[in-house]
Amino acid sequence: MRECPTHGALLGGYILGSLEPAEMDEMRRHVAECPYCGPESRGLNSLPVLLDSIEPADVPPPTLSPTIEEAVLDRFAREHRARRSPRRRRLRLTLPRLAAAAATCALIAVLAVVLIGGEEGSSTAYASVRLAPVAARSDAGGTAWARAVPAGTRVRLRARGLSARRGGVYELWCVRPDGRWVSGGTFRAANDGRADAELTAAVRPGDYHLMVVTRHHEGKPGATVLRGHLRY
């Protein structure tokens, strides 16, 4: 989507509520009518809640180099001068404006973490697994993250392309080098073939190197659907 030519630089600060009161009022009126800022603002409305939910240890605060900081402030100054008439006061880089610039940079940093590499649970995981289909023509797949808990290992599993037939019940297994299969519990696939589950297996880091998803079969592993080797 193209950036709004007049108010695009203020959108990040508006979403995070860090602009001056007069600018917040101006942006509310503008967003209600702008074909660029309106949809983008509605799409990012949940970001303040997301920012509040992120622990400081998960996403360190962005550190700006003097060059980047100067470039951000220069851009704010240019765009504000362009939309102000000559008779209006010159741009004042007050604390709220600096906060808006910092908020925009923080917004970019959080988006990078969330959209590129910030899968939930991955920051505390000791291993991850890319689960590939066993059947040659299957489009199933998934990803899992393993983290240590007092009971052993907590696995966050996200999968797609699973069949919802026969109840859509599947089971996660951690396979030890001695050939023993340790169950992490069962989960269900939704009608669209997706699954998002948290499971617990009685294994420790280093105890196993293979993770398998099978059709649930009471008492023993069923047909294997997905499998993958851990990346520690």
- For the question of whether the overall pTM of this predicted structure is more than 0.75, the answer is no
Phi, psi (degrees; rounded to nearest 5) at 131: -90, 120
Structure tokens at 72: 């951000």
92-102: pLDDT as tens digits: 444 455 555 55
Of 131, 129, 147, 133, residue with least CA distance to 200? 147
Q: Which of 132, 145, 158 lies closest to 226 in space, CA to CA?
A: 132
- Report yes or no: 121 and 147 within 8 Å, Cβ to Cβ: yes
What DSSP assignment string belongs to the chain?
A: -PPPTTTGGGHHHHHTT-S-HHHHHHHHHHHHH-TTHHHHHHHTTTHHHHHHHS-TTTSPPP---HHHHHHHHHHHHHHHHHHS-TTSPPP---HHHHHHHHHHHHHHHHHHIIIII--TTGGG-SEEEEEEESSTT---EEEEEEEEETTEEEEEEEEES---GGGGEEEEEEE-TTS-EEEEEEEE--TTS-EEEEEEES--TTS-SEEEEEE--TTS--SEEEEEEEE-
Least confident of 14-23, 86-95, 187-196, 200-209: 86-95
pLDDT at 108 over 90: no
CA 70 to chain centre: 29
What is the per-residue pLDDT across 117-173, written as a single tens digit (0 to 9) for each? 444 444 578 999 999 999 877 889 999 999 999 999 999 999 999 998 878 899 999
- What is the structure's pLDDT at 36? 81
Full set of structural domains in the chain with CATH: 8-117 (no CATH), 122-231 (2.60.40.200)
pLDDT band, residue 106 (cuts 50/70/90)? low
- Residue whose tokens read 């998803």: 213
Phi, psi of 143 (to 5 degrees): -140, 145
Q: Which residues of 123-144 are buried (b: 16+ CB within 10 A; e: fewer)?
A: bebebbbebebeeeeeebbbbb
Q: How confident is the model at residue 50 (pLDDT cuts 50, 70, 90)?
A: low
What is the rounded CA–CA span in Å between residue 93 and residue 97? 6
Q: Rounded CA gap, 131 and 134, in Å? A: 9
